[in-house]
A and B are shown apart, each in its own frame.
Chain A
Amino acid sequence: AQSVSQHNHHVILSEAASLELGCNYSYGGTVNLFWYVQYPGQHLQLLLKYFSGDPLVKGIKGFEAEFIKSKFSFNLRKPSVQWSDTAEYFCAVSLNFGNEKLTFGTGTRLTIIP
C-alpha cells in the first residue's frame, strides 16, 4: 500500500522568507501527486497537482512543486511567503488506476510571522 511522509510537522517563518515543505511517498508504480491546503477553520483546497509531463508544476497563490521520481519526492515551494499562507499543508498521493483514493501525509503546520 502506498504511504506519504511529511517530515516537517511545524514550520515557522517570517514574511518574505522562502518556503520548502518536504513530501516523500512510497509506491513503485505510477502515482498522482497533490498538495492541499487547509486554512484555519476552512476545508481542504487543492493547491496543485501532478499527473504526468513537466515535473515542475505551478499552483495557485505562487506555490510550485517539483516531482523527482528518483527520490520519490514532491516538495512544495514558494519563494516569498505571506502572513496569509499560515495554514496546514497536506501532501497526498493516489494511484493512477481504480478508485484513486487519496492517501494523505500527516500534514505540516505553517506559521508565518508578520
Chain B
Amino acid sequence: EPEVTQTPSHQVTQMGQEVILRCVPISNHLYFYWYRQILGQKVEFLVSFYNNEISEKSEIFDDQFSVERPDGSNFTLKIRSTKLEDSAMYFCASRGQGNEQFFGPGTRLTVL
C-alpha cells in the first residue's frame, strides 16, 4: 500500500540554524500539507500546497517558513532560522481526489 514517507525521523539543530524537512507524498496525490504537534498539544495546521503554490497557511507559518516541491516527488518544509519554540513533531500529509489525508510518520525537530 502506498504511504507518505518523511526524512529525517529526528533532527536536532541549534537555535538560529536552518532546517529542511523532507516528505515524499503518495505519487498520484495533488494536495500536500504540513502540520505540527508540539509535545503534549494538539496537531496544528501549518500550510497547504496545491498546483505548485500555497493555497492556505496558518498564522504559525510566518516568514521563517517556506515550502517547496522541487521535483515531482519531494515536498519540503524549510525553517530559515529556528527558534526554541519550533521544537515539535512535524507531519506531512497528502491527499488525492478524495477527502482523506494520509499522514507520514513525522519528523521530530529538537531545537537547542
The answer to whether A and B come from one shared complex is: yes
Q: Which of A's residues lie within 8 Å of B, judged by CB? A: 32, 34, 36, 42-46, 49, 51, 90, 92, 94, 96, 98-107
How many contacting A-B pairs (Cβ < 8 A)? 55
Main secondary structure of the interface of A (DSSP, over half): loop
Closest Cβ of chain A: how far from B41's Cβ, in Å?
7
> Do B43 and A90 touch across chains, with their CB atoms under 8 A apart?
yes
> Do A102 and B99 touch across chains, with their CB atoms under 8 A apart?
no
Since A44-B103, A100-B31, A101-B33 are in contact, a sample of 4 more A-B pairs with Cβ atoms closer than 8 Å, ordered by chain A residue number, is: A44-B91, A49-B100, A99-B31, A100-B99
Closest Cβ of chain A: how far from B98's Cβ, in Å?
9
Q: Which of B35, B99, B102, B104 contacts A94 (CB 8 A)?
A: B99
Residues of B20-37 at the interface with A, using a CB-CB cut-off of 8 Å, are: 31, 33, 35
Q: Tell me which residues across on chain B come within 8 A of A99, comparing CB atoms.
A: 31, 33, 48, 50, 55-56
Q: Tell me which residues across on chain A come within 8 A of B48, comparing CB atoms.
A: 99, 101
B18 within 8 A of A: no
Q: Tell me which residues across on chain B come within 8 A of A45, comparing CB atoms.
A: 103
> Do A102 and B31 touch across chains, with their CB atoms under 8 A apart?
no
Contact-size category for B: 20 to 34
> Do A98 and B55 touch across chains, with their CB atoms under 8 A apart?
yes
> Do B105 and A43 touch across chains, with their CB atoms under 8 A apart?
yes
Best-surrounded residue of A36, A99, A105 (most CB of chain B within 10 A): A99
Residues of B30-76 at the interface with A, using a CB-CB cut-off of 8 Å, are: 31, 33, 35, 41-45, 48, 50, 55-56
Best-surrounded residue of A46, A102, A107 (most CB of chain B within 10 A): A102
Bound together, the chains give a CA A44 to CA B43 distance in angstroms of 10
Closest 8 CB pairs of A and B: A99-B48, A43-B105, A104-B43, A44-B103, A99-B55, A106-B42, A101-B45, A104-B42
